[in-house]
Chain A
Amino acid sequence: MSYLRLENLSLSFDNKPVLNDISLSVKKGELVTLLGPSGCGKSTLLRTIAGLEIPEAGTIYLDNVEIQEKASRERNIGMVFQQYALFPTMTVYDNVAFGLNVKKVNRKQVRAKVEKILELVELTEFSDRYVPQLSGGQQQRVALARALVVEPKLLLLDEPLSALDARIRKQLQLEIRLIQKELGITMIFVTHDQEEAMRISDRIYVLSEGELKQVSSPKELYSQPKSQFVAEFIGDYNQIQLTDLIGKIELNQCNKYFARPEIISFQQIPDSIGVSVVYEQEIILGNTIRYQFKTKEQKLLFVDRLNNGENFSVETIEKLFIPECELLAIKDL
C-alpha cells in the first residue's frame, strides 16, 4: 500500500515543461531517492510535493488524503534545504523549537522533544550557539533536527549534503539512513550523485528532462539499466558500436549495445566478442584504475580494474573481449 502517491503530475515554467506526467509512489517507512542531473526537475518535483510549487495537472495523495490543494504549512511535511535555511538570529535550540512553538505545544514538552532530537543528531552541547557559529555539517544536522522534531508524515531532503566536503558527506549519509530506520520515517531524498543515491536508498527514481526514466532498487538500477540515459548516467557504461558486433552475434537494428567497464576482459575468454582497440591512457580513480582505449571508429572504450597493485601490459593490447552474456541490449527510442 503506497503512503505517498503522485498521479500524472505536470508543471511548466514559462511554457517550458519542467515535470511531464510524473507518477510515483512511496511506501511508508521507505527511503526513496530522486536522482538525475541538474535541471532534470528533481528539486521541482520535491517542491511540488512540499506545496512550494503548484502543479498544473495531477494529484498528490499522502496517507490516503488528497493534499495538492493544501498549503505547505498544512501538509505536515518536513523539508531540509540544500542551503540549510536555518534562522540566523536564533540559537540552535530556538531553531529546532520553532516548529513546535508555532504549533503551540506546551513549553515543557517542547523542551523535552528538542533535547531528545538534539541528542539524536549529537548537538546537545551546541544548543545555545547561534547558527553562524556552526560548521556546515553541524548546520545541516540542525536543519535535520528542526525538520524531524515536528514529527512530519514525510521528510523531503533537497540535495542536503551537496555543500559539504566528501568525508562529512559520507558520514551524514550513514547517519541520515540510521535515523531514518530508527524513527521509521518516510523520506524522499534528492541528489545528483549516483553513489550517494545507491548508498542510502531503498529505491531510486531516475529523472531526466522532467520525465521518470526508471525506478528500481540500487542493485537493479546498476545491473539492468532500461535506457541509454540510465546506463550512461549510473554506471559509466560503454556503448559498443554495431560495426564492432556485426557477424559476431545476432543483432537487432533497433537496439543499442552496452558493456560495463569492469566486465571487459583483456584476455580471450569463451563466448566473448573481440573488439579491436588501441590503448590510450590510464586514469586513477582511487580504488579502481580506468584504462582508456579507442576503437577503430575512434570511440572511447573504458575498462576498469581494481587498483590492487596488479600490473597489466595494456600498452600491447590490440583486442578487448566482452562476454556475450554481459552485453546489454537496450531498445533505441
Chain B
Amino acid sequence: MKKIKRNHRLFSYIIITILGIYYLTPLIMTGVYAFGDEWGKSLLPTNFTFHWFNELFNDQAFFLSIIRSFILSTIVLVMILIVMIPSVIIIYLHYPKIDKLLQSISVLPYAIPGVILVTALLKTYSKTGVPMFVVLCGTLLISPIMYMGIRNSLQAINTKQLIEAGQMLGSNMITIIFKVVLPNLRVGIVLSSIMVFSGVFGEYVLTNLLIGGRFETLRIYMLRRMNENGHLASAVMVCYFVMIFLSGIIIYYFSNKQKLQLKKIKLTKKIKMSQEITNSAVEESPL
C-alpha cells in the first residue's frame, strides 16, 4: 500500500515538474532575452545588459500606453462592478428566467470572432456619434467572467436562504445585502476583478481595431515594438507581466485590507466596551 502511495506521489511530482518547465520556460527565457545582449552562439546570452530597459524607459510612448491601458481597464472594471453586482444579485434572486438568457448572452463576446464583432460595432455605431471609446467600454463590459463569477458565488452560499434568515430576524433587504450577501461574495468578486482587469489590460483585437490608431494601449505598443526589436519587446513583456502581477496583488490587498480594518475596528470596539463595563462597574460600586 505504502509503496503504491509513494509511486502515486512520485508520479504527480513528475507531471507537475514537466508542466512547470513547459509553462515557465518561455516566461524565464523572455526575461533572459530582455536582459540579454547578443544571443546566438551559446545556450545563454554572451552579455547581460539593461540597455533595452533603458531604451524603453526613455520612450514616452511606453508610459503613455501604460496609462492608457490602465485607464481603460479601470473604467471597464469600475463600470462592471457598479453595473454587474447589483444586476446579478437582483436577477439571480427575482428573475430566474432572465438569468438563463443572460448566461448565454454573456458568452457571446467569446463566441463571436473579434473581427466580426468589430465590423458589426463599427457599422452600428460609426454614424451615431457615440465615441468609439464608449463603444469599446460597453463591449468589454459584457463579461462572462464577472457574471458567472458572482452568480456562482451567490449559488455557493445559498443566498436565498441567507436572505430569508435575515428577513426572519427582522432585517431589511439593504442591510442583508450589505452585511450578509456582499461579504460572502468578496472572494468571488476579487478573483473576477483581477481576471477582468488583466483581461482588458491585455485585450488587443477590439481595442486595436476600434480605437487603436488614436489610443495606443500597452499591448498595441508592445506589438508595434516587437516588429522593430525582439529584445525590446521582451523588455515590454517583462514590465507587462510585473504590472499585471502587481495590480493583482494590489486588488487582493485592498479587498483584504477592508477585512483587516473591520477586524481592527471590532477589536478596538471590544476593548472600549470592556472598558465601559469596568468603568460602569466602578461607578456603580459603593466604593
Which residues from chain A sit less than 8 Å from chain B, CB to CB?
A: 50-52, 71-74, 76-79, 81, 83, 85-90, 98-99, 102-103, 107-108, 111, 146-147, 150
Contact = CB atoms under 8 A, between A and B. Distances in A.
Contacts of A146: 169
Contacts of A73: 167-172
Contacts of A76: 170
Contacts of B186: 89
B273 interface: yes
B162 interface: yes
A85 B170 contact: no
Contacts of A79: 164-165, 168
A107 B162 CA distance: 24
Contact of A85 (B162, B172, B179): B162
B184 A102 contact: no
A50 B168 contact: yes
B161 A81 contact: yes
B229 to A, nearest CB: 51
Which of A50, A78, A81 gathers most chain B CB within 10 Å?
Answer: A81
A87 B186 CA distance: 14
5 interchain residue pairs of minimum CB distance: A99-B169, A85-B165, A89-B183, A79-B168, A102-B171
Contacts of A88: 157, 184
B46 interface: no
Contacts of A86: 165
Interface string B76-106: 0000000000000000000000000000000
A108 to B, nearest CB: 8
A222 B274 CA distance: 55
B175 interface: yes
Nearest to A81: B161
Contacts of B184: 87-89
23 contacts: A52-B164, A52-B167, A71-B167, A72-B168, A73-B167, A73-B169, A76-B170, A77-B168, A78-B169, A79-B168, A81-B164, A86-B165, A98-B171, A98-B179, A99-B171, A102-B169, A102-B170, A102-B171, A102-B172, A103-B170, A108-B273, A147-B169, A150-B169
A43 B91 CA distance: 25
Most buried by B among A72, A87, A99, A108: A87
A309 B91 CA distance: 63
Contacts of B167: 51-52, 71-73
Which interface residue of A81, A89, A108 has the most chain B CB atoms within 10 A? A89
Contacts of A111: 273
Contacts of A99: 169-171
B109 interface: no
A87 B171 contact: no
B139 to A, nearest CB: 34
Contacts of B273: 107-108, 111
Contacts of B179: 87, 98
Interface in B128-164: 157-158, 161-162, 164
Contacts of B169: 73, 78, 98-99, 102, 146-147, 150
